[in-house]
């Protein structure tokens, strides 16, 4: 299912302004904020809008082990390393 940006932008803005301690906190908060709208695509969108994360990095982040099971799932450490360039404040 596709969602209009107007339904996702408030979550991105809230996430951008939130206090967090790393990428895993950002990912969990994004999942909470998106609620029933959460998917790999909406997570990618919110990351790109909130932190200007590049598309390929956002796509890879959507494979984090709490969102995606399987052999290509990212560990917590992998997610932290991947998103560090955009999340370091």
**For 56-77, what is each residue's pLDDT tens digit?**
999 999 999 988 788 889 999 9
Which residues, 6 or more positions from 35, have their beta carbon under 8 angstroms from its beta carbon?
none
The structure's pTM equals 0.86
For the stretch 11-28, pLDDT in tens is 999 999 999 989 999 999
What pLDDT was estimated at residue 1? 57
Structure tokens at 11: 């979550």
What pLDDT was estimated at residue 56? 97
- Residue ranges covered by each domain of the chain: 5-87
Q: Any alpha helices (H) in the chain, and if so which ranges?
A: 5-17, 23-34, 40-51, 55-61, 76-87
């Amino acid at each position: 299912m596709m969602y209009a940006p107007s339904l996702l932008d408030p979550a991105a803005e809230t996430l951008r302004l939130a206090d967090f301690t790393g990428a895993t906190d950002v990912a969990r908060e994004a999942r909470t904020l998106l609620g029933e709208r959460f998917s790999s695509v909406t997570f990618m969108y919110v990351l790109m809008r909130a932190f200007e994360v590049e598309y390929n990095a956002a796509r890879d982040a959507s494979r984090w082990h709490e969102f995606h099971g399987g052999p290509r799932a990212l560990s917590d450490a992998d997610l932290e390393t991947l998103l560090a360039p955009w999340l370091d404040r």
